[in-house]
C-alpha cells in the first residue's frame, strides 16, 4: 500500500539550522575529497554524493545511536549524517592507520558499528539483507530500534533487494528501505532499467511506500520521522523513495557522456542547500548567521584534512591484523568414554543447538524449514516449540538468509543460519565472500561476526550434480572464513558448540551420509578447539590425511592393509580452515609417506594445499611422492554406476597405500 505523508511538522529554527549544518558538512567533505582525489592524496575509487545531501540528513534525522544503517558505495553522506567523525573519515580515505577503519576499508567500505553504521558497501544491494539481519536482532531483543537500508534505484534490479523486502515483510521487521533515486544506475537512466516502479514493487510485497522530494531536507525528515515511528511501533517495514540527483559522475573521473549539461544545470538549480537557506531566512535566520555557520563548518573540515595528512599509514607488520578475531583458547578434552551412552550424529547436532540456545540468549537459528518443519532431515525437530521466535523459518531466499546472519552478528547476536545444501552456496556467495569474511577486516576489527553457517553435502546416493558437491576448498580459500568438517558424532557436538561460541564466521559442513552414524556421547560441556586435527589411528609406515566421511574410508583401508603388515597413521583434519599442519608434518617425519584423501575433486582441492605445504616444510622426510585421492574432475554424476566410479572409497585408498609402500 502507499502511505501519503502528512503535513511536515513545524521544525524549530534550531532543528532547521542543524539540518543545514549537517548538509554543509557533507557538501564540504565531498568537495574536499574531490580535490584530494584529484591531487592523488586519496587512492582507489571514490563515489561522491554532492547534490544528495538532503536525503542523507533527512533520512538519518529521526535515528538514534542504537538504530542501524547500511549504506552504498556512495556512502560518505550517510555516515556523516549518522554522526561519524570527519577527521576519521578523511584519514580512512587517505589510508591512514588512525582512519575510521584503520585504513582497511577506504571510501566504499566505511563503517562504525558502535554508531550503528554497518557499512558502506561496494556490492550493489548487499546492505539490504544485512539491514534485515540488524532488524531481526532488534525484533528479538524488543529494544525498539530500527534498521535503515540505503540503496540506489539500480539496486532494485538485484535479487538481494527482493529477498530482503520479502523476508522483512514476512517477519514484519522494523526496517526502512530508503531509495535515493538519482535517476541513474551507473551510466544508465533508471527509465531503461525497470519494468515496474518501486511503488509497484513495494505493493507486491505488501509494504508501505512513501515518495518524497529528496532535495527537501525538512520534508524528508518529516516523512522519515513518521515511517521510523511506525517501524518502532511494530508496523513492519516500509519503502521510502526520495527523488534526488548526483551532481558528479558515477565515480570521480566519469566522463558523463550519458547525460546533458542542461539536465545537470536544471538539478543544480534545485540545490538542497539553497532551498534550506531560503527556509532558514523565512524562519528569521539572518545572512550573517548563515555565513558564520558555513565558515564554522569549513574551518572544521579544513582542520580535519590537515590533521589527517599528519597521521601515519599502517605499518606493513600489521598486514594480517583484523582478519580473524582471537578465538578462545581451548584445551583438547579427553575423548568420550567407550562405555558412554550411544548417540547419532543427528542427535549431536540437535543437542549442540539446544544447549547453545538454552545457555545464550544471543543465539538464534534460522533457515528454510528449520522451525515448524524441523529441518529437511529432522535435525531441528522440536526446537521451535521450545525456543519460539529464536528458531525461525525463512522463505527460500539464500541471500537473505546469509545476509540475515551477517547483520544479526554485527548487531551482537550469535546467529546459526542454515544453507540447506552446500551446492546452494553459489546462490548466496556474496554474503560470505564479500560481507561475512571481509567486514571484520574492512572495519579494522570493529565489526562483530559470530556467525555460524550450518550446511551439508554427501555423494553416494545419486543426488546428482547440484546436490552432491564437496566445496570446502572454495570456502577455505577465503581469508576470514573458518571451515569445519566433523567426522564423528562426538566431534560434531564439540565442534558445533565451538563454532557457535566463536567470534568469527564459521561454515560448519556436515556429511548427510553420517547423520545416522552412532558413537559414544560426550559430556554436555564437551567443546573441541577449532583448528586442531586429530590422529585417529596411529601408524608408522604411511600417513593418510582425510576429513569428514572419508576419514572412515581411510580407517577401513588402513585396517585392511594392516592385515598385510602395513602400519597406517590416519589424521582427521576436523577443521579445513584454519589448517592444522603440525601434526601432519610430525607424522610424515615418522612415516616418510603421505596420502591425502577427500571427497572433492582433486584439482585445486585441499589436498593440493596440504601437499604443497609438506613438500616445502617436510621435503627431506619424504621417501615417496605425495599422493592425492579425490573425485574425478567432473560434476557429480547421477547414474549409480558412474557415481561409484567417480567417488573414491576404501579400495582406492588401500591400493594407493600399497603403491606408496612399494616405492
Cα–Cα distance, 154 to 184 (Å, whole number):
7
Pick the closest to residue 177 from 169, 186, 185 (CA basis): 169
CA-CA distances (angstroms) from residue 170 to 132, 167, 396, 644? Answer: 11, 5, 12, 43
SS3 239: strand
DSSP 474-501: HHHTSTT-EEE---SHHHHHHHHHHHHH
Can you give the C-alpha Rg of the chain in angstroms?
A: 28
- Return the C-alpha cell found at 436: 561475512
SS3 151: strand
Estimate the share of the chain in helix, then strand, then coil, as percent rounded to the nearest 5.
Answer: 45, 15, 40
How many CB atoms lie under 10 A from the CB of residue 210? 21
Cα–Cα distance, 368 to 372 (Å, whole number):
10
User: Within 13 Å, how many C-alpha atoms sit on residue 230's CB side?
Assistant: 21
**Is residue 161 within 8 Å of 151, Cβ to Cβ?**
yes
How many CB atoms lie under 10 A from the CB of residue 639? 11
- Catalytic-role residue among 78, 250, 467, 598: 467
Please name every residue paired with 386 in a beta bridge, in sequence order, or none if there are none.
Answer: none
**Is residue 57 within 8 Å of 81, Cβ to Cβ?**
yes
Please name every residue paired with 105 in a beta bridge, in sequence order, or none if there are none.
Answer: none
**Is residue 194 within 8 Å of 134, Cβ to Cβ?**
no
Q: C-alpha 465: how far from its chain's center? A: 26
CA-CA distances (angstroms) from residue 590 to 446, 543, 567, 619? Answer: 44, 9, 11, 13
SS3 406: helix
- Pairing mode, strands 342-344 and 518-520: antiparallel
Establish whether the linkage from the previous residue to 443 is cis, with ω within 30° of 0: no
Cα–Cα distance, 84 to 109 (Å, whole number):
13
How many CB atoms lie under 10 A from the CB of residue 123? 17
How many CB atoms lie under 10 A from the CB of residue 154? 22
Give 176's DSSP letter: E
Residue 467 among the catalytic residues = yes
Q: Which sequence positions are flagged as catalytic?
A: 467
Amino acid at each position: 500500500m502507499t502511505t501519503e505523508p502528512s503535513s511536515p511538522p513545524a521544525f524549530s529554527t534550531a532543528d532547521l539550522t542543524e539540518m543545514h549544518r549537517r548538509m554543509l558538512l557533507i557538501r564540504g567533505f565531498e568537495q574536499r575529497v574531490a580535490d584530494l582525489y584529484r591531487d592523488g592524496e586519496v587512492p582507489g575509487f571514490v563515489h561522491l554524493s554532492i547534490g544528495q545531501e538532503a536525503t542523507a540528513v533527512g533520512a538519518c534525522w529521526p535515528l538514534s545511536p542504537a538504530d542501524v544503517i547500511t549504506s552504498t558505495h556512495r556512502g560518505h553522506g550517510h555516515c556523516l549524517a549518522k554522526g561519524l567523525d570527519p577527521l576519521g573519515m578523511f584519514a580512512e580515505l587517505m589510508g591512514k592507520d588512525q582512519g575510521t577503519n584503520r585504513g582497511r576499508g577506504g571510501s566504499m567500505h566505511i563503517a562504525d558499528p558502535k554508531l550503528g553504521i554497518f557499512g558502506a558497501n561496494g556490492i550493489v544491494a548487499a546492505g539490504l539483507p544485512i539491514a534485515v539481519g540488524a532488524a531481526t536482532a532488534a525484533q528479538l531483543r524488543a529494544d525498539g530500534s530500527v534498521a535503515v537500508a540505503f540503496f540506489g534505484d539500480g539496486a532494485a534490479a538485484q535479487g538481494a533487494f527482493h529477498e530482503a523486502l520479502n523476508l522483512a515483510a514476512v517477519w514484519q521487521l522494523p526496517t526502512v528501505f530508503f531509495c535515493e533515486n538519482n535517476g541513474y544506475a551507473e551510466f544508465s537512466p533508471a527509465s531503461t532499467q525497470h519494468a515496474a516502479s518501486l511503488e509497484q514493487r513495494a505493493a507486491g510485497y505488501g509494504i508501505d511506500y512513501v515518495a518524497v522530494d529528496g532535495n527537501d531536507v525538512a520534508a524528508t525528515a518529516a516523512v522519515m520521522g513518521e515511517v521510523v515511528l511506525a517501524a518502532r511501533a511494530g508496523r513492519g517495514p516500509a519503502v521510502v523513495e526520495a527523488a534526488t540527483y548526483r551532481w558528479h559522475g558515477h565515480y570521480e573521473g566519469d566522463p558523463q557522456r550519458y547525460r546533458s549539461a542542461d539536465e545537470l544545470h536544471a538539478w543544480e538549480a534545485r540545490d538542497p542547500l539553497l532551498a534550506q537557506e531560503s527556509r532558514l531566512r523565512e524562519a528569521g535566520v539572518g545572512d550573517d548567521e548563515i555565513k558564520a555557520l558555513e565558515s564554522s563548518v569549513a574551518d572544521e573540515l579544513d582542520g580535519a584534512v590537515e590533521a589527517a595528512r599528519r597521521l601515519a599509514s599502517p605499518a606493513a607488520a600489521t598486514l594480517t591484523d583484523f582478519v580473524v578475531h582471537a578465538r578462545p583458547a581451548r584445551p583438547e578434552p579427553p575423548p568420550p568414554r567407550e562405555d558412554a551412552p550411544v548417540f547419532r550424529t543427528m542427535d549431536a547436532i540437535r543437542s549442540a543447538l539446544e544447549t547453545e540456545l538454552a545457555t545464550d540468549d544471543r543465539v538464534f537459528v534460522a533457515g528454510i524449514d528449520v522451525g515448524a518443519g524441523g529441518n529437511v532431515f529432522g535435525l531441528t525437530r522440536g526446537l521451535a516449540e521450545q525456543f519460539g521466535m529464536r528458531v525461525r523459518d525463512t522463505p527460500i531466499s539464500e541471500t537473505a538468509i546469509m545476509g540475515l546472519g551477517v547483520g544479526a552478528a554485527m548487531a551482537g547476536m550469535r546467529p546459526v543460519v542454515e544453507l540447506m545444501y552446500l551446492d546452494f552456496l553459489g546462490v548466496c556467495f556474496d554474503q560470505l565472500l564479500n560481507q561475512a569474511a571481509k567486514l571484520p577486516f574492512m572495519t579494522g576489527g570493529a565489526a562483530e561476526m559470530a556467525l555460524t553457517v550450518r550446511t551439508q553435502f554427501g555423494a553416494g546416493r545419486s543426488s546428482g550434480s547440484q546436490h552432491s558437491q564437496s566445496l570446502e576448498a572454495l570456502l577455505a580459500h577465503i581469508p576470514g572464513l573458518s571451515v569445519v568438517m566433523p567426522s564423528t558424532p562426538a566431534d560434531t557436538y564439540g565442534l558445533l558448540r565451538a563454532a557457535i561460541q566463536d567470534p568469527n564466521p564459521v561454515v560448519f559442513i556436515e556429511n548427510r551420509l553420517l547423520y545416522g552414524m552412532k558413537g559414544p556421547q560426550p559430556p554436555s560441556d564437551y567443546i573441541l578447539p577449532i583448528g586442531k586435527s586429530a590422529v585417529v589411528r596411529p601408524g608408522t609406515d604411511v600417513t593418510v590425511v582425510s576429513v569428514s566421511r572419508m576419514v572412515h574410508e581411510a580407517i577401513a583401508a588402513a585396517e585392511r592393509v594392516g592385515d598385510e603388515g602395513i602400519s597406517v597413521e590416519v589424521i582427521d583434519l576436523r577443521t579445513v580452515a584454519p589448517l592444522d599442519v603440525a601434526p601432519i608434518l610430525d607424522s610424515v617425519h615418522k612415516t616418510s609417506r603421505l596420502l591425502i584423501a577427500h571427497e572433492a575433486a582433486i584439482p585445486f582441492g585441499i589436498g593440493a594445499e596440504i601437499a604443497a605445504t609438506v613438500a616445502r616444510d617436510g621435503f627431506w622426510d619424504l621417501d615417496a611422492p605425495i599422493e592425492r585421492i579425490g573425485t574425478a574432475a567432473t560434476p557429480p554424476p547421477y547414474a549409480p554406476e558412474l557415481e561409484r566410479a567417480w567417488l573414491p572409497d576404501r579400495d582406492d585408498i588401500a591400493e594407493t597405500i600399497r603403491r606408496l609402500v612399494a616405492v
